[in-house]
Amino acid sequence: MNQLVISGGKRLEGSMEVHGAKNSVLPILAAAVLSGSVSIIHNCPRLTDVEATLEILRHLGCRVQREGHTVIVDSSTLDRCDIPEGLMREMRSSVIFMGALLARTGEARVCMPGGCELGPRPIDLHLSALRRLGAEIREMGGSLRCRGRGLHGGEIALTIPSVGATENAMLAACGAEGLTVIYNAAREPEIWDLQQFLNACGGRVSGAGSSTVVIQGGRALHTGEHRVISDRICAATYLSAAACAGGEVELTGVPREQLLPVTEVFVQAGCRVRTEAERVWLRSEGALKSVSPVRTAPYPGFPTDAQPPVLAALCRAKGSSVFVETMFENRYRYTMELARMGAQIRVEGRVAVVTGVPCLSAAAVEAPDLRGGAALTVAALAAQGESRITGLRHIDRGYEDIAARLRELGAEVRRTTDSVSP
């Protein structure tokens, strides 16, 4: 059984470059099928979600080559429009291939996607957006049959600013004749990054980063080259680790404005934070302080994916802090594992109240999902003794070799295959 073995209580010191954003590279890889040409994508982290996406591309007939953190996709050989259930169930973001395949081939056959079990996340917004562009979609016992050989532009008004639905609509609209306007679009940096890639391939997309995205479809796309933005959630995780364990950490390559909701929490907690254009520095000395209520929200609000590691960091803060989770109803499952380490957390519905304790104790715990695994890692770095974290298949979805990354900062952590279970 794979597990992280972490000897806590050691200060973190040093500088680290943050790897490419998981939530950005996945839709960009799906978008690579649009051009029917070669896409060169830099800063692609080695994550299991990324590797699963590359397997989907290979299944579709694309030629895929990885050279370090650069991935080269030749979609001129694409000859399929179906994705088998096994690949779809590995990650929820695989649903993004619907829009890309419809735009490229006029057809897509997929099943309902998998991913972390964070509560109901229906894809009805994806389907209604694609139907607005002329797609015909039949739902048959968990599978989706999509046809759209005559896609046309249109106006799409999302009832909530869904990231995935915005991305799917953008991709499909690139293959639709005419102008498409997406209202109440998601504003996340990953949407902007997708726009940059599409435009590098000859697309005409504007407005990403605002609530209105405009796509001029029907344009011939060509070979494109792009560098993926850095992962702001990974950055938030490593800042949480330094805040919790204590120390002085510098993260490079991540735009400061993307981390402002997170760094503001740590400033309230008593950390010293300094930011530059592509650099964030945090110093944590002594006990943290409780903070004003943290409420998750779509970008530019506090990110739901950063909530677990930040909450874990505040488990040792003096006083009580309140978290309100507005995005996913099952996001707090990891708090039961934190309790095994001595954390005092009371959860009622979407609200969690964290009362700080003087110290955390090492324990054997299991990651219930990706960001919950990050939270347990943060807590283990500050806990007294040796903690063992299993369920690494979740952590590997979004963090590239997290043990080696933490060792860069002076943490005592190793990955083992011991047979011990929590």
Closest by Cα among 384, 381, 217 to 313 = 381
Torsional sign, CA 202, 208, 214, 217:
positive
116 counts as catalytic: yes
Q: Write the DSSP assignment of 263-276 as a string of letters.
A: HHHHHHTT-EEEEE
Closest by Cα among 354, 366, 307 to 331 = 307
292: exposed, middle or buried (Cβ count in 10 Å: 0-12, 13-18, 19+)? exposed
Rg of the chain (C-alpha set):
21
- Greatest CA span in the chain, whole angstroms? 63
Q: Which entry of 116, 234, 244, 271 is annotated as an active-site residue?
A: 116
β partners of residue 275 = 280
358: exposed, middle or buried (Cβ count in 10 Å: 0-12, 13-18, 19+)? exposed
How far is Cα 241 from Cα 80, in angstroms, rounded to an integer? 44
Q: Which residues contact 140 (CB under 8 A, 6 or more apart)?
A: none
Torsional sign, CA 85, 26, 231, 45:
positive
Tokens of 315: 């488990």
How far is Cα 107 from Cα 285, in angstroms, rounded to an integer? 57
The amino acid at residue 158 is L
**Residue 374: its H or E element:** helix 370-382
How far is Cα 41 from Cα 27, in angstroms, rounded to an integer? 12
Catalytic residues: 116
